[in-house]
Chains A and B, each alone.
Chain A
Amino acid sequence: MTLTDRQQLSYIASQAADARLNVELETEGMTLNIGPQHPATHGTLRIICRLDGEQVVWAEPVAGYMHRGYEKLTEVRTFPQVTTLVNRIDWLGSFANEVPFILAAEKLMEIEAPPRAQVIRTILFELSRIANVSLFLGDLGVQMGAITPVFLAFRDREYILNLIEGATGGRFHPNFDRIGGLKDDLPKGWIEETRGAVKKLEQFCDTIDDLLFGNEIFQSRMRGIGIIPADIATDYGLSGANARASGIDWDLRRDQDIPLSYDLADWKVWTHPDGDSWARCWIRLQETRESCKIVTQLLDQIPAGPVMTKVPRIIKVPEGEAWVSTENPLGEMGYYVVSKGGLGPFRVKIRSASFNNISIVPWALKGVYVPDVITILASLYFILGDIDR
């Protein structure tokens, strides 16, 4: 393994701190390597921890095991082809990844999707959030040795995946969003089925609330662990539920004016003042409930009309630069698209939420006990494709 200069300096500093501690307590340090393949890391993240007894004195995440070179690959794809790629950034909420890119391209072309397409986009966006966070809620139990919630999560997640498959044809990676609208209209009977499935997911949330959040062991391992104050969270660029759990009332669905129909529904942005692991998980549970609410309300308000505006057969995006970010399941995700008037983008900068969310790991893990490392990592909730891209 080759460390960067910054990592090496940080490591030397940690050893010096260790040495000072050892003189006082006559203990010996130990390096604990977590990953790159570890169930607690949701994929291939590696975390090097320097331990003093049971306490972590220094921790450093080593990213890059899942780096696939997205930003370079987008330069050799055309605009419609890019959605195939960006689907796979955050693989649990695939549809949510397409939307900001398509919105950025539409912004450059100065077109807007028809109202029907906007509402359907919002519904699919929220469905992918439910699919994403429900697996997080199930996975949370596994990190602490409770095996039941993950079975429940996989069972109930299938209802949502079936809906996404029914509407888009893709169970996992829909690739359904097009510049100027959507590929297709909703199939017959989809709306009724969605109502039923969302009810089941609401029940799933209640079950998890009782089973996991009401569990004494879960509470004692989560409450007061890994506290991130609001100013630190802002400094490290946390977004999404991680920021809201630190008391920052900030949600891009509500706070910015983008052509998605969140204003049609009545919903609430939850915040929590504590900033500990418990707060981060609780916020996500509440968000899943809010998403179910949004979907149920929007299903009644789908307007009639086409799902696609008039766009040229061969899409050429005019010269310019655009930045669009949306509130994805993991946090703020945005695309900075630079076009030179060609078939494909000239340069795309992808701002993914997880990369910033794990940047706080060295800070958050300092001084915690080894079993808490797993719960803190679990509650920060990152997806490796979203970190490394």
Chain B
Amino acid sequence: MGLVDKSRLPAPLTKLFNMSRSYSLWVYQWGLACCAIEMGAAFGSPRYDVMRLGVIPLPASPRQADFVCVSGTVTDKMAPAVKRLWEQMPEPKYAISMGSCANCGGPYWDSYSVTKGVDQIIPIDVYVPGCPPRPEALLEGVVLLQQRIKNEDMAAKWRGDEFTTLQRTRAMEAGEVDRDGELINVPTAPTLETAQAVDSVRPEPIVVGGGPIE
């Protein structure tokens, strides 16, 4: 993808690529607890049938996956495995946090062994609240993630910058980036500062059903 790295893609091409990306999402099912059954109902059952949305729920390994659905309680013993899973996935990658436990600890908010929110370990794009969420809620989360992918600037995404088209327009107006979407006053080589800058412009996560992110 050298071409995509170096230059800006024409807008129609970006749109085409984004559309094809958003309708061929390979999801890695990281089912941990109760939510795994509802995730199974959403992804594996004939009633909810996620494949009609263009999501393929059966990759053989995280290396072939586009997004991961962390569903269920992440304990402190399990957390290193979740982190390692995330690092094994190739960019561009997304994460859905399903259920109260993965969002914030849920009913185990005062437990000694539960990680209070998987977002302490990996960056989350979509939060699906509920204990456990209905399969319909998870499907809405998937649809919202697809909308986000459609609005992305792919060149920026491939470089590692997490810019959407809209965000880049706004950032250009504010004078933070130049016309190519590069951050002004930030070295292009991947340094710690770049990483921090990228983190600071990472898009806000989506919450299914609205509501604040605590």
Near B by CB (< 8 A), chain A positions 155-178 give: 155, 157-158, 171-173
Number of residues of chain A lying within 8 A (CB) of chain B: 30
Contact between B47 and A67, CB atoms less than 8 A apart: no
Query: Does A318 sit within 8 A of B, measured CB to CB?
Result: no
Contacts of A66 in B (CB 8 A): 32-33, 73, 75, 78
Q: A66-B75, A68-B75 are in contact. Are A385 and B44 (CB under 8 A)?
A: no
Query: Does A61 sit within 8 A of B, measured CB to CB?
Result: no
Contacts of B47 in A (CB 8 A): 154-155, 158
Report the separation of the CA atoms of residues A280 and B178 in the bound assembly, to the nearest whole angstrom.
67
> Whole-angstrom distance from the CB of A37 to the nearest CB of chain B?
7
Query: Does B46 sit within 8 A of A, measured CB to CB?
Result: yes
Contact between A384 and B33, CB atoms less than 8 A apart: yes
Contact between B33 and A172, CB atoms less than 8 A apart: no
Could you give, for residues 103-125 of chain B, a 1 whenever the CB lies within 8 Å of some chain A CB and a 0 otherwise? 00001101111100000000000
Contact between B78 and A151, CB atoms less than 8 A apart: no
Near B by CB (< 8 A), chain A positions 73-99 give: 73, 76, 84-85, 88, 91-92
Contact between A73 and B111, CB atoms less than 8 A apart: yes
Contacts of B114 in A (CB 8 A): 68-69
Report the separation of the CA atoms of residues A67 and B33 in the bound assembly, to the nearest whole angstrom.
11
> Whole-angstrom distance from the CB of A176 to the nearest CB of chain B?
15
Contacts of A155 in B (CB 8 A): 45-47
Contact between A88 and B107, CB atoms less than 8 A apart: yes
Q: A66-B73, A68-B73, A69-B113 are in contact. Are A150 and B44 (CB under 8 A)?
A: yes
Contact between A154 and B40, CB atoms less than 8 A apart: yes
Residue of B nearest to A388 (CB): B75
Option from B33, B81, B108 in Cβ contact (under 8 Å) with A43: B33
Query: Does B66 sit within 8 A of A, measured CB to CB?
Result: no
Near B by CB (< 8 A), chain A positions 55-77 give: 64-69, 72-73, 76
Contact between A65 and B77, CB atoms less than 8 A apart: yes
Contacts of A44 in B (CB 8 A): 32, 78
Residue from B31, B45, B85, B131 having most chain A Cβ neighbours under 10 A: B45
Residue of A nearest to B112 (CB): A69
Contact between A68 and B78, CB atoms less than 8 A apart: no
Contacts of B77 in A (CB 8 A): 64-65, 67
Query: Does B19 sit within 8 A of A, measured CB to CB?
Result: no
Query: Does B162 sit within 8 A of A, measured CB to CB?
Result: no
Report the separation of the CA atoms of residues A172 and B77 in the bound assembly, to the nearest whole angstrom.
26
Near A by CB (< 8 A), chain B positions 1-54 give: 30-34, 36-38, 40-41, 44-47
Contacts of B78 in A (CB 8 A): 36, 44, 65-66
Query: Does B93 sit within 8 A of A, measured CB to CB?
Result: no
> Whole-angstrom distance from the CB of A83 to the nearest CB of chain B?
11
Contacts of B108 in A (CB 8 A): 68-69, 73
Option from A36, A72, A88, A171 in Cβ contact (under 8 Å) with B33: A88
Could you give, for residues 2-43 of chain A, a 1 whenever the CB lies within 8 Å of some chain B CB and a 0 otherwise? 000000000000000000000000000000000011000001
Counting from the closest, the 4 A-B pairs by CB-CB distance are A154-B45, A91-B34, A69-B111, A65-B78
Q: Which residues of A contact B (CB under 8 A)?
A: 36-37, 43-44, 64-69, 72-73, 76, 84-85, 88, 91-92, 135, 150-151, 154-155, 157-158, 171-173, 384-385
Query: Can you name 6 A-B residue pairings with CB atoms under 8 Å?
Result: A43-B31, A44-B78, A67-B75, A151-B44, A154-B46, A158-B47
